[in-house]
Amino acid sequence: MTLDLNLNDLTHVVAADREHVWHHLSQHKQYETTDPRVFVEGKGMKLWDATGKEFLDAVSGGVWTVNVGYGRESIANAVRDQLLKLNYYAGAAGTVPGAVFAQRLIEKMPGMSRVYYSNSGSEANEKVYKMVRQIAARHHGGRKWKILYRDRDYHGTTLGTLATSGQGQRAAQYGPYPDGFVMVPHCLEYRAQWDVENYGQRAADAIEEVILREGPDTVGALVLEPVTAGGGVITPPEGYWQRVQEICRKYDILLHIDEVVCGLGRTGTWFGYQQYGIEPDFVTMAKGVASGYAAISCTVATERVFEMFKDAPEDGMSYFRDISTFGGCTAGPVAALENMRIIEEEGLLENCTLMGDRVMANLNALMEKHEVIGDVRGKGLFCGAELVADRKTREPMDEKKVQAVVADCLSQGVIIGATNRSIEGLNNTLCLSPALIATADDIDRITDAIDGALSRVFG
């Protein structure tokens, strides 16, 4: 069927979407009886869909992305001007926005040194895995080639990054995977795996146990999210990160922090790892780097790592033999520069901390009222409430009921998120990650919507 498309005719647009777009993470059977939602416009924290309905977006574009909010004219203008000047050149050469943004970014990341541009979080992480393999081949005689990842963490959709998926359902149907990726236990104390007092230390020691089992000379890197996102908004227990860092140093294991969600302010500091005093070897970032105004991701490395790719220039194999075609687009770094300026000039890190505290206070108050909230976790504007069928046994709430809470909020015009389709039996955490511009009124409206939804679904 061909549609005579008139972009002003939103009925046709919705029909075109229904006929021809294959949506991400979606079971399309539902669109035999309902229309897909098509968003048309955004301003600040608000969105409008093709039916004209208005929403308050408590998840920054669905997946923790639009950190500075919608409709930023200054970003659009900066991108427009740059595109007219120079839209692209392949990354073997430099561009003005690429150089300037790299410098500005490194100023925010003491100890880090080099920025490698690509387009998505998956790609940025995959670059690290390749770098680790190349370091193993050239500097460790082929040893230290394994990469450890953590249960419940997530690092992307490619086969390489899915090989490091701690969320079983995402990876289940796409194997076999490449060798050398080994899982370590998660650190969520609410779902404790050890009955000990110093849980953070114990959960980190579990990583050392895996290293010893695998053989320290086979392990090259450890990839972790500073605060786990889709795996259930897992904030690390006291003492965890300090011990993780010690373990990495002890066994000469490169520490790769996946900041795809936390990066650029989500937790109230520029990066999540800066909340915990971590000194990483690699940092990857994507979503909030340009708040979704352009596609950009960065793989950031220390000078020590970078130097390892300069060891024997004459043999033609020692440099990093990788390219990302669209890593040479200038729209990404120019949007990222303006995004960073906005965060700084509008004091959005401070606002994030302040409003994050308000979300946590409101969620804790809701926990007093609603038995189904078993645990509340968060850092900055990155918060979650885990729903349980039974507070004593901590039996996870049925996923369908969790989705009913999300749907009820939606019908009230508030978009919230939930961990879903990722971890068998544990898709039970409501997720809140509003833009860093959120006001106290926005926060209260979001948590009021959850309050109403919980009363209706479980009342």
Positions in the binding site for ligand PMP (CB under 6 A): 63, 120-122, 125, 154-157, 225, 229-230, 258, 260-261, 286
Instruction: Supply the minimum distance, in Å, between the C-beta of residue 395 and ligand PMP.
Output: 27
Q: Which two tokens stand for residue 175?
A: 């194997």
Q: Which two tokens stand for residue 235?
A: 């904030």
Q: Which is nearer to ligand PMP, 134 or 228 (CB)?
A: 228
Strand order in the sheet with 219-224: 114-118, 297-301, 282-285, 254-258, 219-224, 146-150, 181-184
Q: How far apart are the first and last CA of the chain?
A: 46
Instruction: Supply the minimum distance, in Å, between the C-beta of residue 256 and ligand PMP.
Output: 11
Q: Which is nearer to ligand PMP, 97 or 121 (CB)?
A: 121
Q: Which is nearer to ligand PMP, 63 or 381 (CB)?
A: 63
Q: Which is nearer to ligand PMP, 127 or 144 (CB)?
A: 127
CA dist 117 and 96 (Å) reads 13
Instruction: Supply the minimum distance, in Å, between the C-beta of residue 159 and ligand PMP.
Output: 13
CA dist 167 and 225 (Å) reads 13
**H-state helical runs in 253-398:** 303-307, 331-345, 348-369
Confirm if 307 and 272 have CB atoms less than 8 A apart: no
- In Å, what is the CA distance from 409 to each residue of 55, 447, 452? 10, 10, 8
Residue 116 exposure: Cα atoms within 13 Å on the Cβ side: 24
Instruction: Supply the minimum distance, in Å, between the C-beta of residue 381 and ligand PMP.
Output: 15
Amino acid occupying residue 338: E
| Residue that is written with structure tokens 């970003």 in the block | 75
Q: Which is nearer to ligand PMP, 163 or 373 (CB)?
A: 163
- In Å, what is the CA distance from 417 to each residue of 23, 27, 361? 17, 17, 19
Q: Which is nearer to ligand PMP, 286 or 366 (CB)?
A: 286
Among 324, 337, 352, smallest CA distance to 60 is for 352
Q: Which is nearer to ligand PMP, 125 or 427 (CB)?
A: 125
Residue nearest ligand PMP by beta-carbon distance? 121
Q: Which is nearer to ligand PMP, 120 or 235 (CB)?
A: 120
Confirm if 149 and 223 have CB atoms less than 8 A apart: yes
Confirm if 209 and 136 have CB atoms less than 8 A apart: no
Confirm if 80 and 73 have CB atoms less than 8 A apart: no
Q: Which two tokens stand for residue 233?
A: 């908004």
Confirm if 226 and 275 have CB atoms less than 8 A apart: yes
Confirm if 231 and 422 have CB atoms less than 8 A apart: yes
Instruction: Supply the minimum distance, in Å, between the C-beta of residue 229 and ligand PMP.
Output: 5
Q: Which is nearer to ligand PMP, 265 or 457 (CB)?
A: 265
As to burial, measured by CB atoms within 10 angstroms (0-12 exposed, 13-18 middle, 19+ buried), residue 323 is: exposed
Among 321, 413, 332, 387, smallest CA distance to 98 is for 332
Instruction: Supply the minimum distance, in Å, between the C-beta of residue 151 and ligand PMP.
Output: 14
Q: Which is nearer to ligand PMP, 129 or 154 (CB)?
A: 154
Instruction: Supply the minimum distance, in Å, between the C-beta of residue 17 and ligand PMP.
Output: 21
Instruction: Supply the minimum distance, in Å, between the C-beta of residue 1 and ligand PMP.
Output: 31
Instruction: Supply the minimum distance, in Å, between the C-beta of residue 457 and ligand PMP.
Output: 26
Phi, psi of 153 (to 5 degrees): -80, 165
Instruction: Supply the minimum distance, in Å, between the C-beta of residue 259 and ligand PMP.
Output: 8
